[in-house]
Amino acid sequence: GGHGGHNGLRDIVPHIGNDFHRLRIGIGHPGHKEKVHGHVLGRAPKAEQDLLDQALDEALRLTPMIVQGDIARAMSQLNGFKPS
């Protein structure tokens, strides 16, 4: 739960509270603080997009487990996921 610094979630929290689950996917760091904004909002390079797609596919595969309430098991599997 919580917004974790994400401005979109920061806007939502006052309406729904902090009690929610979220999927966080890291995208790396461009190396310089000044480049973060463009890096986060820009299009991912092909290699990174492929990794992102694999992570999202794995999260979707685990969605039924989450819906059934086995969040801890789904989190464990997702946290152990290694893209190819």
CA atoms within 13 A on the CB side of 3: 13
The candidate with the shortest Cα–Cα distance to 17, out of 3, 32, 36, 37, is 3
Q: Is the pLDDT of residue 2 over 80?
A: no
The tens digit of pLDDT for each residue in 22-33 reads: 887 877 888 999
pLDDT confidence of 1, banded at 50, 70, 90? low
DSSP label at 22? -
The tens digit of pLDDT for each residue in 63-73 reads: 999 999 999 99
Distance CA 44, CA 47 (A): 8
The tens digit of pLDDT for each residue in 5-48 reads: 778 888 988 998 888 888 878 778 889 999 988 988 899 889 88
